[in-house]
């Protein structure tokens, strides 16, 4: 049972890793980016697998056979990957000149004492977080409330219903939100199909992969873009967010959604560091944004926020033409997921409870009520201080920023501002959604606001540590600029 469990859980991430490796700019591919590609690949694999499985369900049905298709695809990609690697090695004479520490610049810091201590602390905290995750998963094998009431319930319906799988979207169970996108339930269902049995450990394993991929993506991306110390510090803060670890184990969709947000923001930041040869990164960023829409409804808003955020970051400096060129590639990456989400929403899913339960009059009435805005602002302010369930909250980060200062380097503007603008626009969209909700506002905020903060948290930490000086930089040049506590 254990080997087949490992196959079912590791096959999609492996597929994702190979897809990411193919799209990764050749110059960048190498040993030091493996963790980054692996982290992005894990989520990509589940996203693409769930997408392919949905199309398989529509075209063929739930009969077995998908695993064969996946196996063939995996083998073909692996052969192509190894062949490409061997060819590149022979061209470069067995060396990868671009990957020397000198060529990588900030990606490969000489290992300082601080670096070694931090790595040690990080490993200790990682083991501790892993223990907490395993204990939580063992105590709640079916996950927390939303996991069994929404995500795993949907997976169960699809898996157990056989040919009647479309019944999983019955409007009779409107409390279980049958209109929610299917990335997470289908990731679980295809794992169960591979295993041939409904194993409760599988949703927990999917949650585990998303949680720790988010962690390693945060660390590795900042290691590449800034320094390893910076990556480890960001990772420590994420691990020191108990709500993140608890929620990863709760089998909700918020951590996977946060993973896709982070992947998109990271890939766009990496793209900004290339000089035109990184179109694959842009395509991957689109794919990740599309996967966010395939995970939760909020992801649809995020896609729009990224498109708008990118416009604000690129058009003033590089013009419309450059922006349009980027967006074509980005949308090509996002298109498969967006088309599938569109099809699902129009043909299978019942209407959304928030949008269908009110008329235009009700929406306008709520939009014109200032007390709702004030209430949302007040709740958001309070939640910003408490949602982590830990010590590291916005004031602690503000103090850290004040002590270390802002990182300033030419060309870093769009890299940070795309992410920050996209996150700010997404947060604004969330706030507007609360303004128009027909449900009791206090209940709705109590129930979900901390999770919305959590969705944005890894991407926020990435942007934060991209903007703040590294400890090494601060020691080398201790004059902390007093201006610019805020992001650029």
Partner 1 sequence: MKVKAALVILILSSLIPNLVLVKEELRKYGNPCFRDEATSYEAKFAELKHFLPENGVVGYITDQQPDAGRQEYYLAAYALAPAVVLRGTNYPFVVGNFHRPVTDEAGANPGLVLVGGSCNGVLLFRNEKVK
> Which residues have CB under 8 Å from 369's CB, separation 6+?
435
Distance of alpha carbon 291 from its chain centroid, rounded? 9
Tell me the C-alpha distance between 352 and 331, whole Å.
25
Return d(Cα 122, Cα 484) in angstroms, integer: 29
* DSSP single-letter state for residue 478: -
Residue 320, Cβ density class (10 Å: 0-12 exposed, 13-18 middle, ≥19 buried): exposed
Binding of residue 435 to partner 1 (CB under 8 A): no
Binding to partner 1 (CB under 8 A): which residues in 188-227? none
Question: Least distance (Å) from partner 1 to the CB of residue 454?
Answer: 15
| Binding window for partner 1 (CB under 8 A); candidates: 37-45, 350-358, 400-408, 435-443 | 400-408
Taking the least distance from each CB to partner 1, the nearer of 22 and 115 is 115
Contact with partner 1 (CB under 8 A) among 27, 345, 389, 444: 389
Q: Which distant-in-sequence residues (6+ apart) come within 8 Å of 377 by Cβ?
A: none
Closest C-alpha among 191, 187, 170 to residue 44: 187
In sequence order, the 6+-apart residues with CB closer than 8 A to the CB of 441 are 372, 375, 376, 434
Contact (CB, 8 A) for 454 and 258:
yes
Q: Does 400 bind partner 1 (CB under 8 A)?
A: yes
* Least distance between partner 1 and beta carbon 241 (Å): 8
273, 350, 429, 471: residue in contact with partner 1 (rule CB under 8 A): 471
Q: From residue 110 to residue 139, what is the string marking binding to partner 1 with x (rule CB under 8 A)? A: ----x---x--x---x--xx-xx--xx-xx
Residues 240-269 contacting partner 1, CB under 8 A = 240-242, 245-246
Between 271 and 457, CB nearer to partner 1: 457
CA distance 304 to 290: 10
Phi, psi angles (nearest 5°) of residue 61: 110, -175
Q: Closer CB to partner 1, residue 180 or residue 271?
A: 180
Interaction residues for partner 1, span 153-172 (CB under 8 A): 153, 156-157, 160-161, 164, 167-168, 170, 172
* Contacts with partner 1, residue ranges (CB under 8 A): 114, 118, 121, 125, 128-129, 131-132, 135-136, 138-143, 145, 148-149, 152-153, 156-157, 160-161, 164, 167-168, 170, 172-173, 175-176, 233, 236-237, 239-242, 245-246, 388-392, 396, 399-400, 403-404, 471, 474-475, 478, 480
């Amino acid at each position: 049972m254990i080997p087949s469990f490992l196959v079912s859980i590791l096959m999609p991430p492996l597929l994702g890793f190979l897809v990411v490796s193919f799209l990764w700019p050749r110059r960048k591919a190498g040993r030091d980016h493996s963790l980054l590609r692996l982290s992005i690949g894990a989520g990509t694999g589940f996203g693409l697998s769930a997408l392919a499985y949905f199309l398989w369900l529509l075209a063929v049905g739930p009969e077995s056979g998908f695993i064969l298709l996946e196996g063939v695809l995996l083998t073909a990609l692996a052969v192509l990957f190894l062949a490409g690697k061997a060819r590149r090695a022979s061209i470069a004479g067995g060396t990868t000149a671009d990957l020397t520490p000198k060529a990588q610049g900030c990606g490969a810091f000489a290992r300082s004492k601080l670096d070694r201590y931090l790595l040690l602390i990080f490993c200790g905290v990682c083991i501790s977080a892993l223990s907490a995750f395993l204990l939580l998963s063992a105590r709640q094998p079916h996950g927390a409330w939303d996991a069994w009431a929404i995500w795993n319930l949907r997976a169960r319906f699809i898996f157990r219903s056989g040919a009647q799988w479309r019944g999983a979207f019955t409007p009779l169970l409107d409390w279980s939100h049958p209109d929610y996108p299917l990335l997470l339930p289908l990731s679980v269902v295809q794992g169960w199909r591979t295993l041939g049995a409904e194993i409760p450990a599988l949703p927990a394993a999917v949650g585990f992969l998303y949680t720790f991929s988010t962690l390693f993506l945060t660390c590795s991306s900042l290691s590449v873009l800034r320094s390893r110390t910076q990556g480890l510090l960001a990772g420590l803060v994420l691990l020191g967010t108990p709500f993140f670890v608890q929620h990863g184990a709760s089998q909700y969709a918020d951590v996977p959604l946060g993973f896709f947000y982070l992947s998109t923001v990271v890939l766009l930041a990496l793209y900004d560091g290339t000089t035109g040869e990184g179109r694959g990164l842009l395509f991957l960023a689109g794919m990740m944004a599309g996967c966010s829409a395939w995970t939760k409804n909020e992801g649809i808003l995020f896609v729009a926020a990224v498109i708008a955020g990118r416009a604000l970051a690129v058009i003033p400096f590089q013009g419309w033409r450059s922006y349009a060129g980027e967006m074509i590639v980005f949308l090509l990456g996002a298109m498969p997921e967006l088309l599938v989400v569109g099809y699902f929403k129009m043909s299978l899913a019942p209407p959304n409870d928030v949008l269908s339960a009110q008329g235009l009059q009700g929406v306008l009435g709520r939009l014109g009520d200032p007390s709702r805005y004030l209430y949302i602002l007040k709740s958001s302010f309070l939640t910003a201080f408490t949602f982590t369930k830990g010590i590291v909250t916005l004031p602690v980060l503000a103090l850290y920023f004040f002590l270390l200062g802002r990182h300033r380097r030419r060309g870093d503007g769009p890299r940070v501002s795309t992410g920050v603008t996209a996150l700010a626009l997404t947060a604004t969209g969330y706030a507007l959604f609360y303004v128009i909700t027909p449900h009791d506002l206090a209940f709705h905020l109590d129930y979900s606001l901390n999770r919305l903060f959590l969705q944005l948290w890894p991407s926020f930490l990435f942007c934060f540590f991209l903007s703040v000086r590294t400890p090494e930089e601060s020691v080398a040049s201790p004059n902390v600029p007093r201006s610019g506590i805020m992001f650029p």
